[in-house]
Structure 1
């Protein structure tokens, strides 16, 4: 089994927020929520006016289900080796892997070097 994947860059930019005293956000403008003892983590589309760090998402185009081992590791491993931070929100079918916007080019290079195909909505991204 190969873990090389075709990844699409999600057209949206995201923000990752920590709400330490919340159990649910005040609005319904979120993409993913994780409730933990230390508070709520919220992933949402980045506002054009927000000064928070922006994250770019990679999402696989092939559903792999929960029983397929190594799919997420095949993506985050090369990013970790390149020193790129990630935030991951997993779905039933695939994983949304976020990287800081300023590291996008480095992330694309690391993923391609690991054998993944990286595309945006217009098709394959140019090299470099």
Structure 2
């Protein structure tokens, strides 16, 4: 396993599926994934939206695209603990989202797996 330094991103997120869109109508997004079944949008959670809120973990140290096992080292222990995830990968690291109400479980699980986790 590759132990990592992860920090909890200070904001909360929401994940939306826009089945008939190819691009969102605004520029308030964090990550986009376009697929045959529509557009997936990750954005900061609106205080007015009645949707599931997600908390994010992000690596403090970037890693190359050729470094194997970085994402598996994070999502593997979370899967074993039954914590759902949604991942948006960047060139340098992965933004691993967990349901906000499972943040403590996820933090404890990752620390127990050898990762160093810091909160804002």
Query: TM-score, normalised on structure 2?
Result: 0.98
Corresponding residue for 1:9? 8
Deviation for aligned residue 1:10: 0.3
1:27 shift after superposition:
0.2
Aligned with 1:80: secondary structure? helix
Q: CA RMSD in A?
A: 0.7
* Alpha-carbon distance in structure 2 between the residues aligned to 1:78 and 1:102: 17
Distance in 1 (alpha carbons) for counterparts of 2:22 and 2:62: 30
Secondary structure at the counterpart of residue 24 of structure 2: coil
CA distance in 1, matches of 2:105, 2:8: 14
How far has the Cα of 1:65 moved from its partner? 1.4
Distance 1:92 1:101 in 2: 25
Secondary structure at the aligned position of 1:76 is classed as: helix
**DSSP 3-state at the match of 1:63:** coil
Equivalences, count:
120
Larger RCO of the pair (alpha carbons < 8 Å, separation 6+) = 2
Partner of 1:69: 68
- Quick one: distance in 2 between partners of 1:81 and 1:69? 20
Instruction: Provide runs of 4+ in structure 1 moved above 6 Å.
Output: none
The separation in 1 between residues aligned to 2:117 and 2:95, in whole angstroms, is 14
Q: Which residue of 2 aligns with 1:113?
A: 112
In the superposition, the TM-score normalised over structure 1's length comes to 0.92
Point out where structure 2 has 5 or more consecutive residues left out of the alignment.
Answer: none
**2: distance between equivalents of 1:61 and 1:105?**
19
Task: Provide the rounded CA distance (Å) in 2 between the counterparts of 1:27 and 1:65.
Answer: 31
Tell me the CA shift for residue 11 of structure 1: 0.5
Unaligned runs of 5+ in 1: 122-128
CA shift at 1:47, angstroms? Answer: 0.3
Provide the secondary structure at the position in 2 that maps to 1:59. Answer: strand
The match for 1:27 is: 26
